[in-house]
């Protein structure tokens, strides 16, 4: 394994090991009443999507460097909700640069790969309030 690919794999493993911390930090964005509802259920995705729509007018704002940590946290929550609902596991594709989600964390297993980061940015652009839950339902 070349050193860049090895480093990327190490970064992914560190990211995965830090997931609980990311999720705990994300929960602080919500009131105590809302935190109780963040139970990784499909219904909780609508609370998260409301948060996205309140905090981001579009995906371009989400992709600013200053938002990287918050967007990572929301993507972790969405990904964990999908994983707990549908099964699968976190992975990262580092062998195929033409893969649409190359070098991004994805969920794989019981369905086609889903990239939670792309889902949360799409939710910001589509602005339906139910996009994430609908994707989960259709997965």
Residues 67-81: tens digit of each pLDDT: 999 999 999 999 999
| Residues 129 and 116 sit within 8 Å (Cβ to Cβ) | no
pTM of the model: 0.94
3-state secondary structure of 108: strand
Tokens 């990262």: give the residue: 92
Can you read off the two tokens belonging to residue 113? 């790969």
Between CA 102 and CA 12 the distance in angstroms is 12
Residues with Cβ within 8 Å of 115's Cβ and at least 6 positions away in sequence, in order, are 100, 101, 104, 105, 106, 107
pLDDT at residue 1, rounded to an integer: 52
Mean pLDDT, the chain, rounded, equals 94
Between CA 95 and CA 90 the distance in angstroms is 16
**Per-residue pLDDT band at 112 (split at 50, 70, 90):** confident
Any idea what DSSP says for residue 114?
A: B
Query: How far, rounded to the nearest angstrom, does the alpha carbon of residue 29 sit from its chain's CA centroid?
Result: 16
Q: Which has the closest alpha carbon to 106: 132, 135, 134, 75?
A: 75
25 has pLDDT over 90: yes
| Residues 77 and 48 sit within 8 Å (Cβ to Cβ) | yes
Mean pLDDT of 11-38: 96
């Amino acid at each position: 394994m070349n050193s860049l690919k090895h480093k990327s794999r190490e970064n992914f493993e560190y990211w995965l090991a830090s997931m609980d911390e990311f999720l705990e930090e994300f929960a602080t964005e919500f009131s105590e009443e809302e935190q109780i509802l963040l139970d990784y259920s499909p219904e909780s995705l609508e609370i998260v999507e409301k948060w996205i729509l309140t905090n981001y007018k579009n995906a371009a704002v989400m992709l600013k460097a200053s938002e990287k940590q918050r967007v990572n946290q929301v993507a972790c929550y969405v990904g964990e909700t999908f994983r707990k609902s549908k099964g699968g596991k976190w992975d990262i594709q580092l062998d195929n640069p033409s893969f649409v989600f190359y070098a991004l964390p994805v969920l794989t297993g019981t369905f086609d790969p889903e990239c939670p980061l792309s889902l949360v940015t799409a939710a910001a652009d589509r602005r339906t309030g139910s996009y994430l839950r609908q994707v989960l339902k259709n997965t």
